[in-house]
Copies of this chain bind each other. A is one copy, B any other.
């Protein structure tokens, strides 16, 4: 066991993370800033097998937790602002940055047992646990900039053009209590207690400035974001993410995921856009479907993951292949046909989804379970929304799923050492 909080526990560390200590934070960040931004250590991270002791670098050209090999567990939280005072928000971003630096390095956010009789600054449940590749990724929703038509923080001129709500999409059955949000935090780790601890402590540090809007626990990754990872199965029992973008594909990531270097909003350069969709699977209906129907809906074989008509999971998908009866092997409404870049004129997304289960649906007694779909992209309207307009009307999968939550967030660019989240947003 690591001694995660030995320093803060003895009360000798800087008490920078509480709001009373903000000036201390800002000063320290300034001093540490000399080291510069540094590159995002993608090759290093992607080559290592999942390891509970390992850390993923927090600083870099892009935020970690996007093109980082997907960790096994997720705790996701959306927050709403309680203030229209931009100074308070800037302060929060500074506090959250320093906290995330500490958490991802396996440290407590502050003393567990302060000597001055105050409440612990860290809640302690991760004390002794290695970080298990924890990443903390921050995002900003459209309502951060504008609520009820109002420029609430005076930052409307800093809003990037692509940050708009997705609007109604076919197949939506959205629950407002599981949708939207002014801010988001995605905590991924191979240890769910570490991810929970991160979100809980960030929520606590934000008390009075933000309040939790919704959260989502993901118990198993359904995507592969690195060539070093096997393809996991989703709750339909199918391999998911076979043709996902990979951390090693820098050129494709630049084209499809990272905001361009000439983006007018400097704080978004090297950033991305996250679309989060809570996709409930109607698993009882799915489970009653014959295997042929399931494979027809997806367009792949269930056990091997191979495209229909091929042998191996990674065999290329040939949408023109026909069977002996002259009909397409992969049907017109098969999910992989409609989602294929060949069909969509090149739309690609970096998917980092997680399986969830949230108890039972009290109306039906059936499991409320499915896929919490997280997709990163350069433009959520030209990518996810365009794709979903097609899938939501034609995809054979629609009979077995419904989208019950939706949110879009701008993901600011990577945070250099000594800098803080979206710093140029406030410049």
| A interface residues (Cβ-Cβ under 8 A, vs B) | 1, 5, 9, 73, 75, 112-114, 117-120, 122-128, 177, 191-193, 196, 200, 203-204, 207, 211-217, 219-220, 230, 232-238, 283-284, 287-292, 294, 301-303, 355, 357-360, 362, 365-367, 369
Contacts and interface: CB of A to CB of B under 8 A. Distances in A.
Given A118-B290, A217-B219, A219-B193, A128 B360 contact: no
Nearest to A361: B212
A214 B290 CA distance: 28
Given A230-B1, A303-B9, A235 B358 contact: no
Closest 6 CB pairs of A and B: A124-B237, A192-B219, A193-B220, A211-B365, A125-B233, A113-B291
A119 B357 contact: no
A360 B358 CA distance: 12
A237 to B, nearest CB: 2
Contact of A217 (B203, B217, B238, B294): B217
Nearest to A231: B128
A360 B287 contact: no
A125 to B, nearest CB: 5
Given A237-B123, A283-B200, A292 B219 contact: no
A323 to B, nearest CB: 17
30 contacts: A112-B237, A112-B303, A114-B291, A117-B290, A117-B292, A118-B290, A119-B287, A119-B291, A120-B287, A120-B291, A120-B294, A122-B237, A124-B233, A124-B236, A127-B233, A127-B303, A128-B233, A191-B220, A192-B192, A193-B355, A196-B219, A196-B220, A196-B355, A196-B357, A200-B369, A204-B287, A212-B366, A215-B357, A217-B217, A219-B219
Given A287-B119, A291-B119, A294-B120, A362 B177 contact: yes
Nearest to A235: B125
Contacts of A192: 73, 192, 219-220
Contacts of A359: 214-217, 358
A112 B233 CA distance: 13
A251 to B, nearest CB: 30
A177 B363 CA distance: 12
A205 to B, nearest CB: 11
A282 to B, nearest CB: 13
Given A233-B124, A302-B112, A217 B291 contact: no
A284 B200 CA distance: 10
A289 B122 CA distance: 12
Contacts of A9: 303
B291 A367 contact: no
A237 B119 contact: no
A214 B117 contact: no
Contacts of A232: 193
A200 B359 CA distance: 11
A128 B238 CA distance: 11
